[in-house]
Structures are given as C-alpha cells and as structure tokens.
C-alpha cells in the first residue's frame, strides 16, 4: 500500500460546480497534513494546512478523518483558475526528523 494515495483524476468540473476528493494515508501516527496546488510545469504551492477540526479558506474546505485515515478537499463554486493538480502532503513519521510525503496528485480541470 502506498504511504499517501490519491485518485489521479482528472476530475472534470463545470465552472461553478463543487468538486471533492480524498487522500488516504497509511501511518496512523501522522500528525500534520497539507494540501498543495501545482500548476502545469510549476512548483507546488501551499493551498492550506489541514487541522483536526477541519478548516475552511474561502471556497476551499479541508477535512481530516483520523479513524479512516484520509483527508479531503472540497472546492465550491469552481473557477477556471482552479484547474491544477492538488497534492496531498502528510508527515508520516513525526517521531524522527520527519519528512513530508507527497501523493501523486489529483488533477482537476474546470471547464467553461
């Protein structure tokens, strides 16, 4: 089983619609979680951290489900500019130096 697993997509979303996708992680001791956004041929950029209670940033909502070991990202009122690959990032080993483990990404394509 991969340490961090994502549905690669693509998720084709009409402009204005809502899209949601999950990311599963294997290490139950993981403590920190992030969603990054990566545009084509560009570097990943932090979209939002994911907190235990869930958090919202404008049209974006992130949730953490520790029991089932997944995090989710929901995008409301999708914009064309939301088209990107969304990377799930997990700290899989907080007891040591720790390293951020990246999923392969979920591609979202917002269409007019």
Partner 1 sequence: ETGVTQTPRHLVMGMTNKKSLKCEQHLGHNAMYWYKQSAKKPLELMFVYNFKEQTENNSVPSRFSPECPNSSHLFLHLHTLQPEDSALYLCASSQDTGGVTEAFFGQGTRLTVV
Tell me the C-alpha distance between 111 and 81, whole Å.
10
- Strand pairing partners for 56? 61
Question: DSSP state, 33?
Answer: E
Q: Which of 19, 34, 82, 84 binds partner 1 (CB under 8 A)?
A: 34
105: contact with partner 1 by CB under 8 A: yes
94: contact with partner 1 by CB under 8 A: yes
Tell me the C-alpha distance between 51 and 9, whole Å.
25
Q: Which of 18, 49, 52, 65 binds partner 1 (CB under 8 A)?
A: 49
Applying CB under 8 A, the residues found at the interface with partner 1 are 4, 8, 31-32, 34, 41-46, 49, 87, 91, 93-94, 97-105
């Amino acid at each position: 089983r991969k340490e961090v697993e994502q549905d690669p997509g693509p998720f084709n979303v009409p402009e204005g619609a809502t899209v949601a996708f999950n990311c599963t992680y294997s290490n139950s001791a993981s403590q920190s979680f992030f969603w990054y956004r990566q545009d084509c041929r560009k570097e990943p950029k932090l979209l939002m951290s994911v907190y235990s209670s869930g958090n919202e940033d404008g049209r974006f909502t992130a949730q953490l489900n520790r029991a089932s070991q997944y995090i989710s990202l929901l995008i409301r009122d999708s914009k064309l500019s939301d088209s990107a690959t969304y990377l799930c990032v997990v700290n899989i080993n907080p007891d040591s130096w720790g390293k951020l483990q990246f999923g392969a990404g979920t591609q979202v394509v917002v269409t007019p």
